[in-house]
Amino acid sequence: MSPDRRLDLDLPRGAADLIATTLTVFVRHALLFMSVTLIVVLPVGILVTGVWAGGFADGGDADVPVAAGVAVGLLAFLMPVLVTALHVIVVQELGNGHAPTVRKALLAAAPRFPRAIAAVLVYSVLCLVGFCLLVLPGIWVFVAGYFATQAAVMERRGPLAAFRRSSQLVDDHWWRTAGTLALGWVLLTVVFFPVGRALEAVDSGVLYVVLYTLVQVLQLSLTALFGTLMYFSLRARKERPLGSAPGATYLPPTSAAPAPADP
């Protein structure tokens, strides 16, 4: 990969720059990002949406049974975690100036899946507790721990350590982070809500499952890429020495020895 095509991960980015970079990087490597996402989403699309929920038979009129609904809920929790883990590896490779592949991403990310899942499970429990006690603590936890997956995968941290790392990065930038996440959510909703409504009108079962799966792939990939670039931006903003060159190599304090996993 030529130096001018290298993705600079040491550069703090504002909301507009994050959105522009997300779109630019995604378009430039669309086949790669969609391929790694499809690996996670395709089995769900075929087995759950197509077979179990009746998508192949009824198209947009498919009626999701209760059991399938539980499975969909569980997979809705797992899929973003796995997709994000894969995107972290790909973005890291792009930042190092390498040419990532689907195989490289899978080999590097797969051993870190359990750590990422555990980190998001802890994060989800903390969010739930915060929302049950009072709404505002839940909102704070949701934003503060949003990058636990990235911290678990990139820095090989345990569940609680990944949440603390995410909170550390967001600290002093909570409002900026919350606003950027909200802006990204609004833009994705504006784009994908009408697409979802249009899918409901598709009568062909096979066409419905194919289109539904592709829409999920696109949405999950963009969300994971946006969140991963935000993580690197926060890390650069938090830890890059004042006055250092934007293109300088970033070596986090934990790079020499990975942080020990929580018991």
Tell me the C-alpha distance between 149 and 4, whole Å. Answer: 29
CB of 180 closer than 8 Å to CB of 147:
no
Highest mean pLDDT, choosing among 134-138, 140-144, 248-252: 140-144
Return the higher-pLDDT residue of 133 and 232.
232
Task: Tell me the pLDDT band of 241, cut-offs 50, 70 and 90.
Answer: very low
Tell me the C-alpha distance between 110 and 108, whole Å. Answer: 6
Q: pLDDT per residue over 94-140, tens digit each? A: 999 998 999 999 999 999 999 999 999 999 999 989 888 777 788 99
Domain of residue 10 covers 3-238
Ordered alpha helix ranges (H), 47-65: 55-58
Establish if 183 belongs to a structural domain. Answer: yes
Establish if 70 belongs to a structural domain. Answer: yes
CB of 221 closer than 8 Å to CB of 37:
yes
pTM of the model: 0.82
Establish if 248 belongs to a structural domain. Answer: no
Establish if 259 belongs to a structural domain. Answer: no
Number of domains in the chain: 1
User: Residue 240 has what pLDDT?
Assistant: 64
Backbone angles phi, psi at 44, to 5 degrees: -65, -45
Q: Which residue has the tokens 């839940």?
A: 138
Q: pLDDT per residue over 57-69, tens digit each? A: 555 555 555 445 5
Establish if 162 belongs to a structural domain. Answer: yes
Q: How many residues does the chain have?
A: 263
Non-local CB neighbours of 55 within 8 Å, separated by 6+ positions: 49, 62, 205, 208, 209, 212
Establish if 254 belongs to a structural domain. Answer: no
Establish if 257 belongs to a structural domain. Answer: no
Establish if 249 belongs to a structural domain. Answer: no
Left (φ > 0), alpha (ψ -120 to 50) or beta: where does 59 sit?
Answer: left
